[in-house]
Amino acid sequence: MTYQPPVRDHAFLLRDVLEIEKYADLPGFEDAAIDVVDQIIQEAGRFTSEVLAPLNAVGDKQGCTWNPDHTVTTPKGFKEAYAQLVAGGWPALGADTAYGGQGLPHVVNLSFSEMSSSANMAFSMYPGLTHGAYSAILNGGSPEQKALYLPHLVSGNWGGTMNLTEPHCGTDLGLLRTKAVPQADGTYRISGTKIWISGGEHDMAENIVHLVLARIEGAPEGVRGISLFIVPKFIPDAEGKPGARNSVFCDGLEEKMGIHGNATCVIRHEESTGWLVGEENRGLALMFVMMNEARIGVGLQGIAQAEAAYQAAATFAKERLQGRSLTGPKNPDGPADPIIVHPDVRRMLMDSRAVIEAGRAFLFWTACRATWPTPALTRLCARRAMTTWP
Amino acid sequence: MTYQPPVRDHAFLLRDVLEIEKYADLPGFEDAAIDVVDQIIQEAGRFTSEVLAPLNAVGDKQGCTWNPDHTVTTPKGFKEAYAQLVAGGWPALGADTAYGGQGLPHVVNLSFSEMSSSANMAFSMYPGLTHGAYSAILNGGSPEQKALYLPHLVSGNWGGTMNLTEPHCGTDLGLLRTKAVPQADGTYRISGTKIWISGGEHDMAENIVHLVLARIEGAPEGVRGISLFIVPKFIPDAEGKPGARNSVFCDGLEEKMGIHGNATCVIRHEESTGWLVGEENRGLALMFVMMNEARIGVGLQGIAQAEAAYQAAATFAKERLQGRSLTGPKNPDGPADPIIVHPDVRRMLMDSRAVIEAGRAFLFWTACRATWPTPALTRLCARRAMTTWP
φ/ψ bin of B81: left (φ > 0), alpha (ψ from -120 to 50), beta (otherwise): alpha
Contacts of B175 in chain A (CB under 8 A): 321-322, 335-336
Asked if domains A7-153 and A158-283 share a fold, the reply is: no
The answer as to CATH 1.10.540.10 being correct for domain A7-153 is yes
Among the residue ranges A13-17, A231-235, B64-68, B268-272, the one predicted with the least confidence is A13-17
Burial of A383 (0-12, 13-18, 19+ CB in 10 A): exposed
Q: Which residues of chain B have pLDDT under 70?
A: 1, 26-32, 369-390
Instruction: Say if A27 is an interface residue toward chain B (CB within 8 Å).
Output: no
Question: What confidence score (pLDDT) does residue A23 get?
Answer: 72
What residues 275-334 of chain A have any CB closer than 8 A to a CB of chain B?
321-323
* β-pair type (B264-277, B248-253): antiparallel
A322/B171 Cβ within 8 A: yes
End-to-end CA distance of chain A: 37
Residue A360 has pLDDT above 70, yes or no: yes
Closest C-alpha to A194, from A216, A219, A176 = A176
Summarised one tens digit per residue, pLDDT across range A277-320 is 999 999 988 888 778 788 889 999 999 999 999 999 999 999 99
The set of long-range contacts for B77-86, using a CB threshold of 8 Å and a minimum separation of 24, is B78/B123, B78/B204, B78/B261, B79/B203, B79/B204, B81/B51, B81/B52, B81/B55, B81/B123, B82/B123, B82/B126, B82/B156, B82/B204, B82/B205, B83/B204, B84/B47, B84/B51, B85/B47, B85/B51, B85/B127, B85/B156, B86/B155, B86/B156, B86/B157
Mean pLDDT over each residue of chain A, to the nearest integer: 92
Name every chain B residue with its beta carbon within 8 A of the beta carbon of A172: 321-323, 336
Q: Which residue, among B319, B321, B322, B344, would best test binding to A if mutated, counting the most A CBs under 10 Å from its CB?
A: B322
CA distance B9 to chain A (A): 33
Q: How confident is the model at residue A66 (pLDDT cuts 50, 70, 90)?
A: very high
In the predicted model, is pLDDT for residue A390 greater than 50?
no
How many helices (H) and strands (E) are present in chain A, helices listed first? 9, 11
Closest partner residue to B322 (CB to CB) among A170, A335, A336 is A170
> A184: exposed, middle or buried (C-beta count within 10 Å: 0-12, 13-18, 19+)?
exposed
Contact yes or no for A207/A160 (Cβ under 8 A): no
Q: Does domain B158-283 have CATH number 2.40.110.20?
A: yes
Q: pLDDT tens digits for A260-281?
A: 999 999 999 999 999 999 999 9
Read off the pTM.
0.87
For chain A, the structural domain boundaries read: 7-153, 158-283, 287-388
Whole-number pLDDT of residue A290: 78
